[in-house]
Amino acid sequence: MSDPLPARRALLTAGLVAVSVLAAGCSADDARPVGQAPSVAGSPSSDGTSTDAWVRGLDRPTGIGFALPEAARPARSTRPAQGGAEVVSREYAAAVGDVRLSVSVLTTPTQPAAVRRTVRAQYLPFLVVDTVQAQGASEAGVVSNSRLRGVGLRGYDSQLTFVQKDRRAVWFTRAVELPRTVVVAQAVAYVRPDEDAVDRVRAQFRRLTDGLDIPTS
């Protein structure tokens, strides 16, 4: 897919802040990016999804709701950004087999409106590809990047891929911009380069995004 952002390098420094936050815990060093996969409520069905209900969670500072295979506590991290602001991430993560699922809530508390200048939903997948290519990944590219329709908020669903350390990343993201927050939901698996894992990772991604509850006011 061609890159629609000729001036993207101007945003790279700010965008790498978001990439460094979002990529935390996602590593090709291990087929299970979050370490040993946690126990998952329910048994997998033929399409790889759990047959039982996932656990509802809530990011209390923002009121953003989500569902994951098991209860997750927020992992908080902070990165410096441009203009003196800091990007603060609260990430909630769990796994189904080798698929890591996460919801990250990104804010810039000292300059609340700056988060939308620092973390641009449309450009995140391209910045991830830039970053992993700089780290030596091959066959890196954005497979799709489409704007969400009918949701009343600016957001993008994306798929990207790359090969690193003999593993292929199958990576789906949804990034949604709110006035003072950016929410990113991800489903990521690192698989053998010859494995066709797109459908099963996509199925988990759809279940993750179906469980998002993002206040619009």
Output the pTM of the full model.
Answer: 0.79
The domains located in the chain, with CATH, are 8-210 (3.40.1000.10)
Cβ pair 62, 88 in contact under 8 A: no
Average pLDDT for runs of 10 along the chain of length 217: 42 46 48 32 39 85 95 90 80 95 91 80 89 91 93 90 93 92 94 95 96 86
In tens, the pLDDT along 86-129 reads 888 999 999 999 999 999 999 988 888 788 777 888 888 998 89
User: 């990034």: which residue's tokens?
Assistant: 175
With contact defined as beta carbons under 8 Å apart, do 67 and 116 qualify? no
